[in-house]
Structure 1
Amino acid sequence: MSAPPGNAVRATVGLALVALLFALVWQGSPQAPVPPIEPVVAEAADAAASAPQTFPMPGPPLMDGFAAVYGNAASAAAAAASTPLAADEIEVCGIGRVKAKGGQPLDRTLFTTAGDAARRRLVTTLAQQPDELARAAGLLLQRDEGPPHANAPQACEGADCNAPAEPGESELQRQARVGANASQRDALAQMAVATRSPAVYTLAWRACRASPGGACQMLSTRQLATLDPNNADAWLEVASEADQHGETGLVDEALYRASKATTADLRWGQVSALALRNLPPGTPAIERRAVMARAEAIESALAMPGLKTLMQHCDANAVRDGNRLQVCADIAELLSKRSTTLLDMAIGQALGARVGWPAERLQALRLERDAMSQALKPMAAAPGTEWSCAQIERETRWVLDMSQFGEIGAARMLIARTGQDVAALAKQYSDDRAAAAARAASAPASGVVALAR
């Protein structure tokens, strides 16, 4: 089993998601002005592979017990970093260097086993918390994806119903797991029905969007917006659902309400942060990272908000109408200035281009985005260091900073702690991209020559 990507690497996924979303939105609309939004995940990993893993992370101290238990191990790992890892070994916090044997792939079941045990204990802890959001996160973390195959509750057919659908799971086991997932989803939906917490309702709504059915029919975007009326992302959920049903008037109303909101908060990362804060002091580092990865994977699998609907209803043709232009311009201001995530911020900047923002303003915003991308690069794990003490510490600090200050706030803290200004970081990012493009352009040429011989 390969190790899941770290939260630090996934911190850059917002910009990559923007590129994918734009590809969907602008398909068939070549006339629409699109500012370049580039994915940075691969570049971050590439840069980290050759960068020393000593980047000082911002934010509050790690949770009680982590630094005390793993401080010495982290120091030892830093000292050992001068000796490069072999291709068949990784560094594991609290254990040291682990090497594959007999030419086989490295056995990573240690991480899976440790993570599952820690998650089960965490779920029990969260279920007993007085905080409603913690209990909701506990329900979400109970979800079991099982082996890497579809979780759809299709009926078993034929005589091989008990044969393994995938290694390690029979059809009966799969059905039991899917049923348990549905029960936990329904419990979360039922909690949302009675809640006054917009955060709890948002978790339940998105979980139901990702896995509809059962008690999910009791939820609605209207209630979500009622609980969270000042959050533009809640109104974009209303617009998205109304658009699917062909309710043009409700789409217009929801977009207008979004334009008058005071913030745009997707609440990304809250489950990961809750998980970290509720792990007991002294929890082994590899368990902490496994739990973070599990929480992040679950959050990432939840349905995306209504950004595609927003971009379609603020396209180049729509903004020719004066009223729609004003609504789209107001949403652009909100998303670019008062959102908590890189995704919302980048969408706001793209909308700004559509509604006619000056080139100088767009360039300044693009420079900050590029500077954030550059500041995030050292957080990506070099190959073999995903489970090292230093990497786990970086990821932990990022998750806690993001939950406290938002993704944008945490990224701006990274910029500040580099000691460089936005322009310098943005230039580094541009230079690195140019170098990567040059390498990519030369690689296919050499391959063609080799094939021609």
Structure 2
Amino acid sequence: MAMNSPDPGIFRWAWALCQFRDAPPICGQLSVLRLVEQHPEDAAHWLLLAQVQPVRAPLALQGVLQASAFSSFPSLTPWVESALPADLAPYLRMNLLGQSMRWGQASEAVMNAGSVAVARDCLAADADRSACLRLADVLDSRAPDLLGLHLAGRIGEVHGWQPQRIEALRGQLERLQQASDIGPVDASPWSCANVERNRRFLRDRAAYGEVEALHRLAAASAPAAAPR
């Protein structure tokens, strides 16, 4: 299916599945280089190339800088949720959705490794400052995951970002991390409020990526302003 589908998301899922032990021989026919040639507009594809072929990290860096999109890894969560019966017990629903998210997180690790490969040279003070600052800007403004923001800050610090910008990014990372650690809405983990909040977060993560989903979770969890 991935060999003939025009959908790059299908390719990325197939490629991730092929990384497991006992993958079928046809997996050897999947070409990440062909993916970036067919869909160079997505920075995520270039990060995948950098992970698969680290020697091409400089090429991947240029691809990331020229890309017009930066997608998160396709998530199984919406597909799983759409297939679940409406009357399924809440704890079973959340367990299945959680399993699908954890599988997705394992797949996202592939793209994260590509991010590290592309950013590695930029963590050296003698790297191409102009290209590295552009990479930091791309990661800061468009990366769908927390690792991208973290790498943006490290690169920016090495290559001369203003202290105010570095502190602002650190503050954002801290707030997003705090959002990910927010506890249950109430004492019962399977209450309607908790189940709905968790479902909303999983849907947001699937649709928008980790960073935007955490922003939305933080906003929804913030205490309401006192009436004037």
Bucket of the pairwise TM-score, normalised by the shorter protein: 0.7 to 0.9
Letter in 2 for 1:313: D
In structure 2, give the amino acid aligned to 1:340.
P
The match for 1:264 among 55, 63, 70 is 70
Report the CA distance shift for 1:343/1:312 in structure 2 as closer, same or farther (over 3 A).
closer
Distance 2:172 2:57 in 1: 32
The number of aligned residues is 220
1:371 aligns with 2:171: no
Aligned to 2:203: 400
| Equivalent residue number for residue 79 of structure 2 | 274
Unaligned runs of 5+ in 2: none
Cα deviations across residues 40-62 of structure 1 (Å, max 9, x unaligned)? xxxxxxxxxxxxxxxxxxxxxxx
Q: TM-score, normalised by structure 2?
A: 0.83
* Deviation by residue 1:129-182 (Cα, 9 ceiling, x = unmatched): xxxxxxxxxxxxxxxxxxxxxxxxxxxxxxxxxxxxxxxxxxxxxxxxxxxxxx
Equivalent residue letter for 1:197: D
Q: Shift of residue 213 of structure 1?
A: 4.9
- For 1:197 and 1:404, the matched residues in 2 are separated by 16
Q: Secondary structure at the match of 2:72?
A: coil
Letter in 2 for 1:300: Q
Question: Residue 197 of structure 1 contacts residue 227 of structure 1 at CA under 8 Å; is this kept in 2?
Answer: no
> Any runs of at least 4 consecutive aligned residues in structure 1 with deviations exceeding 6 A, and if so which?
none
State the Cα distance separating 1:411 from its structure 2 match.
2.0
Q: CA deviation at 1:222?
A: 1.0
Q: CA deviation at 1:387?
A: 4.0
Distance of 1:253 and 1:310 partners within structure 2:
9
Question: Which one has more relative contact order, counting CA pairs under 8 Å at least 6 apart?
Answer: 1
Q: What amino acid maps onto 1:236 in structure 2?
A: L
Equivalents in 2 of 1:276, 1:221: separation in Å?
29
CA contact (8 A) 1:335 1:345 kept: yes
- CA displacement, residues 369-388 of structure 1 (integer Å, 9 cap, x when unaligned): 2122233332x349x84444
CA contact (8 A) 2:123 2:154 kept: no
Matched, 1:357 2:155: no
Task: Label 1:391 to 1:420 Cα distance change in 2 as closer, same or farther (>3 A).
Answer: closer
* Structure 1 residue 236 corresponds to structure 2 residue 47: yes
The residue identity in structure 2 corresponding to 1:235 is: W
Over 3 Å counting, the alpha-carbon distance change for 1:344 and 1:293 in structure 2 is: same
Q: Does 1:192 align with 2:192?
A: no
Q: Deviations over 1:28-49 (max 9, x none)?
A: xxxxxxxxxxxxxxxxxxxxxx
Q: 1:356 is paired with a residue of what secondary structure?
A: coil
Q: 2:120 aligns with which of 286, 308, 312?
A: 312
Point out where structure 1 has 5 or more consecutive residues left out of the alignment. Answer: 1-190, 422-453
**Residue matched to 1:187:** none
Query: Cα offset for 1:206?
Result: 1.8
Task: Work out the CA distance in 1 between the residues paired with 2:59 and 2:173.
Answer: 31
Letter in 2 for 1:272: T
**One-letter identity of the residue aligned with 2:46:** W
1:416 to 205, 219, 226: 219
Partner of residue 183, structure 1? none
Cα distance in 1 for partners of 2:211, 2:138 equals 14
Higher helix share: 2
Say whether the 8 Å CA contact 1:195–1:201 is kept in structure 2: yes
Matched-pair contact (CA < 8 Å) for 1:259–1:331: yes
Distance in 1 between the 2:131 and 2:164 partners? 22
CA distance in 1, matches of 2:60, 2:177: 32
Deviations 1:257-290 (A, max 9, x none): 112222332326x211221123232222122112
Once the 2 structures are TM-superposed, how far is the Cα of residue 229 of structure 1 from its aligned partner?
Answer: 1.6
- Higher-Rg structure is 1
With over 3 angstroms needed to count, the CA separation of the structure-2 counterparts of 1:308 and 1:399, relative to structure 1, is same
Identity %: 25
| Alignment counterpart, residue 61 of structure 2, candidates 255, 270, 276 | 255
TM-score (norm 1): 0.44
Q: CA deviation at 1:252?
A: 1.9
Letter in 1 for 2:151: I
CA contact (8 A) 1:273 1:400 kept: yes
| Aligned residue number for residue 446 of structure 1 | none
Superposition RMSD in Å: 2.6
